[in-house]
Amino acid sequence: MSRGLLHDSEPYERHSPVKKPRPLSYILITALSISTLTACGGGSVENLEATCESLRKNMSDFVTDASIGRDLYKDGESVAMLLGDETRKNNKEFIYQNFPFMKDYSIASIQSGEYQKGVNDSQIQAAIYVFSSTPNPIVLTDKDKEQIEISDDPYTEIIEPKVIRVIGAAYSDEGCAGLDAANGLDDDFLSDERRTVPALYENMRAAAEDSVEHLLGILLCERDGKIDDEKCDTEDFELTYTDPSTLPPTPEELEILEERRQDAEREAESPSAPSYSSASPLQLCSSAGAVVQTEKYGTLTCGFLWVNRVRTLVWMRS
């Protein structure tokens, strides 16, 4: 199931036009049109501005990506190995606060996949919940419920159009996205904070999706003290790095250093005499390009020379 809302292939740039004085009638008409901005797909959304602000308030905990910031994406044994008691407790409170319907989730019901199908799908329940206190709640008709039961992708096919009708597609001029654009509110996707309604909703959906399996891990730790065969740790796992250059040498390293020290002392006391070759010019050699150092003739190089019309390898002065 895709997390993201429908995006344009590439965000367009919005350039602020030069502001000119407007007549009062224009300002009044503009204010009225913003309050009932055209919805995605046609038609208008009543109380759009109030709805968008209510959604923004409901999703205020998702200004930053909770899935990353709270490690909600961790599931299974990683909840046991990487998170401590305090973090699991805090994350459970966060999940229950932002997704109260998950208080009814049990180990058995999560493991059975109950919250991945039908109207109980966690993504559908999350969307209904964040819209429930707005002037435009998501109301499922009997026909919607029937379609949800038979659909292979009920969120995308039935729920997402209802959501986008209100919040608009990201970077569009419709719904909440249009209001955000009109108010100069934009999201820098390189920033840690995202404040437009479509971006907040995307973060909320990611957290809702990840929270189900994350909650399962927390509940297993509370009940069994372990997940599968992995005991639940009491403290968060922290990966520490120590600069090897600051560590004291190991016994093996000390032994190597001592051998090098002794070798240096022996070399200083009786330096080895240079080794010279006994080769001489025009003496036969076997490897073209080979070089030797002689005490009497200096450096000699093995090269080809014609000797009695025979091409022969001999030592020659370099």
pLDDT in tens, 27-81: 333 333 444 444 444 458 899 999 999 999 999 999 888 888 888 988 888 898 8
H helix and E strand count, the chain: 13, 5
Angle, alpha carbons 132-138-140 (nearest 5°): 125
The full DSSP string for 102-124 is GGG--HHHHHTTGGGSGGG-HHH
Q: What is the pLDDT of residues 7-31, one digit of tens each?
A: 443 433 333 333 334 443 333 333 3
The pLDDT of residue 12 is 34
The pLDDT of residue 102 is 95
> Lowest-confidence range among 120-134, 221-235, 296-310?
296-310
> Lowest-confidence range among 86-95, 187-196, 252-261?
187-196
Is pLDDT larger for residue 98 or for residue 40? 98
Domain boundaries, the chain: 24-231, 276-318
pLDDT at 163 over 90: yes
- Flag whether the pTM goes above 0.75: no
Please state, for a pLDDT cut of 70, what percent of the chain lies above it. Answer: 81
Q: What is the pLDDT of residues 229-283, one digit of tens each?
A: 899 999 888 766 667 777 787 888 788 878 877 777 776 776 666 678 888 888 8
Place of tokens 């003739």: 297
The pLDDT of residue 68 is 87
> Whole-angstrom distance between the N-terminal and C-terminal Cα of the chain?
76
Mean pLDDT of the chain: 81
Whose CA is closest to 153, among 161, 165, 142, 143?
A: 161
List, in sequence order, every residue forming a beta bridge with 125; answer none if it has no partner.
Answer: none
pLDDT at 103 over 50: yes
Distance CA 73, CA 85 (A): 17
pLDDT at 105 over 70: yes
User: Phi and psi (nearest 5°) for 29?
Assistant: -65, -40
* Mean pLDDT in residue range 282-302: 88
pLDDT at 211 over 60: yes
